[in-house]
């Protein structure tokens, strides 16, 4: 619909689509395939696609620069934590797994999205409440996540401000950060070696408490936060690419403000000029 409207309004302009899923096209088949009937994949395209690709691409390049290594030599766990949230395992600069799936509903707990749930819940609730597929889709996309648990808040500022008098706020934050931690641990196992964990996006850049809770207890796995550095690394106060791990942390932890718009602009210019390379490791981005 957006493309149709844009072409109607600007009929003489060249139109370029930069897909949020493109960065994740390097995932191996065992990461993007689901264990469902093969016909679903072949005929319906049911597979993991992943989203927030422009963000994960940008921060992965910036993280490689901070590490002083080529992107192709870097293994990362990137955490785009906002109202929508996703985690990506990056090996040798390329996405090999990500938390979102066929749709942006899977993976991490989000502002109004449930994230990972037992698929059986859908059938149970539909039967018990007598609701349609469209209604359950609305419940899971618009009325779940932090809103579903707190029953009144989406914004983390509201949740933190009411944590003392609303135990659901405490519960929502515990569910969210425990969920992030599980993905960090899973991606660590998948990658084997991890150079850095990167926090980005609205919450990842602006909420030091979420970052602290998400990596708390991972010291035995080589992750140690520098509390003072973490507390200062807030993009809303002007902080830029920041190291928030302790000096003796085996795995670095970064806060990197994302810039999805810049990736979209540079990809669009390259496509228009005929210089775009689908292998992003060979693209001459200005932020590398």
- Catalytic residue set: 20
In the chain, what's the furthest Cα-to-Cα distance? 59
Distance in angstroms (rounded) separating the CA atoms of residues 3 and 9: 10
Place of tokens 């707190």: 150
Plot region of 161 (φ>0 → left; ψ -120 to 50 → alpha; else → beta): alpha
Contact 181, 223 (CB under 8 A): no
The CB density around residue 122, as the number of other CB atoms within 10 Å, is: 15
Q: Which residues contact 49 (CB under 8 A, 6 or more apart)?
A: 21, 24, 32, 100, 101, 102
Name which of 142, 175, 182, 139 is nearest 159 in CA terms.
175
Tell me, what DSSP letter sits at residue 247? T
């Amino acid at each position: 619909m957006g493309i149709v409207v844009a072409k109607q309004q600007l009929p003489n302009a060249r139109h370029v689509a930069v897909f949020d899923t493109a960065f994740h096209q390097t995932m191996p088949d065992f990461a993007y395939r689901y264990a469902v009937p093969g016909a679903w994949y072949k005929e319906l395209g049911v597979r993991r696609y992943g989203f927030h690709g422009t963000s994960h691409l940008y921060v992965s390049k910036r993280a490689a620069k901070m590490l002083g290594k080529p992107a192709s030599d870097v293994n990362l766990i990137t955490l785009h934590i906002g109202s929508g949230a996703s985690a990506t395992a990056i090996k040798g600069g390329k996405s090999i797994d990500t938390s979102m799936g066929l749709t942006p509903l899977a993976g991490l707990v989000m502002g109004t999205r449930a994230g990972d749930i037992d698929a059986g819940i859908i059938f149970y609730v539909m039967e018990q409440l007598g609701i349609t597929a469209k209604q359950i889709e609305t419940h899971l996309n618009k009325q779940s996540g932090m809103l579903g648990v707190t029953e009144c808040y989406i914004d983390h500022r509201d949740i933190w401000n009411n944590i003392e008098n609303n135990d659901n706020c405490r519960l929502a934050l515990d569910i969210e950060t425990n969920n992030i931690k599980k993905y960090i641990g899973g991606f660590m196992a998948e990658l084997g070696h991890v150079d850095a964990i990167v926090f980005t996006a609205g919450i990842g850049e602006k909420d030091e408490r979420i970052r602290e809770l998400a990596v708390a207890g991972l010291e035995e796995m080589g992750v140690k936060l520098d509390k003072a550095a973490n507390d200062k690394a807030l993009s809303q106060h002007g902080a830029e690419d920041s190291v928030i791990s302790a000096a003796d942390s085996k795995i670095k932890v970064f806060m990197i403000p994302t810039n999805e718009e810049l990736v979209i602009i540079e990809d669009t210019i390259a496509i228009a000029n005929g210089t775009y390379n689908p292998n992003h490791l060979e693209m001459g981005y200005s932020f590398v």
